[in-house]
Amino acid sequence: MTKKTNVLIVISNMEFGGAQRQIVELVNNIDNSKFSVSVCSLSQYTPLAEQFNSNIPLYVIHKKSKFDFSVVFKLAKLIRKHKFDIIHSYLFDAEIAARLAAKLSFTSIKIIGSERNANYTLKPIQKRAYIFTKHLVNAIVANSQSGAEFNAKQTGQPKSKYHVVYNGVDTNRFKPQSNQNIRAELGIAESAQVIGMFASFKKQKNHPFLIKALQQVKKQGVNFKLLLVGDVLYGGLHGSDNYTVALKQLIQESGFSQDVIYLGNRDDVERLYPACDFTVLPSLFEGTPNVVLESMACGVPCIATDVSDNARIIKHTSSGYIVAVDDIDSLSQYILGLINQPNLLNELSNNAQQTIIEKFSSYKLSENMEAIYSSVSCKNRL
CATH node for 180-359: 3.40.50.2000
Q: Is the pLDDT of residue 220 over 50?
A: yes
Cβ neighbourhood burial of 84 (10 Å; 0-12, 13-18, 19+): buried
Q: Residues 306-336, buried b or exposed e (16+ Cβ, 10 A)? A: ebbbbeebbeeeebbbbbeeeebeebbbbbe
Helix 362-381, helix 18-29: angle, nearest 10: 80
Beta bridge pairs of residue 41: 11, 60
pLDDT score of 382: 42
Phi-psi region of 264 (alpha: psi -120 to 50; beta: other; left: phi over 0): left
Topology agreement, domain 5-168+361-381 and domain 180-359:
yes
DSSP 190: T
Tens digit of each residue's pLDDT (9 = 90 or more) over 321-347? 999 998 999 999 999 999 999 999 999
pLDDT band of residue 379 (cuts 50, 70, 90) is low
Q: How far apart are CA 255 and CA 253, in angstroms?
A: 6
pLDDT score of 81: 98
Cβ neighbourhood burial of 145 (10 Å; 0-12, 13-18, 19+): middle
Tens digit of each residue's pLDDT (9 = 90 or more) over 66-102? 889 999 999 999 999 999 999 999 999 999 999 999 9
Domain residue extents for the chain: 5-168+361-381, 180-359
50-69 average pLDDT score: 95
Tens digit of each residue's pLDDT (9 = 90 or more) over 175-218? 999 999 999 999 999 899 999 999 999 999 999 999 999 999 99
242-261 average pLDDT score: 97
Among 284, 278, 340, CA closest to 314: 278
pLDDT score of 214: 98
111-130 average pLDDT score: 93
Cβ within 8 Å of residue 96, ≥6 positions away: 129, 130, 133
Q: How far apart are CA 197 and CA 174, in angstroms?
A: 16
CATH node for 5-168+361-381: 3.40.50.2000
Integer distance in angstroms from the first to the last C-alpha of the chain? Answer: 19
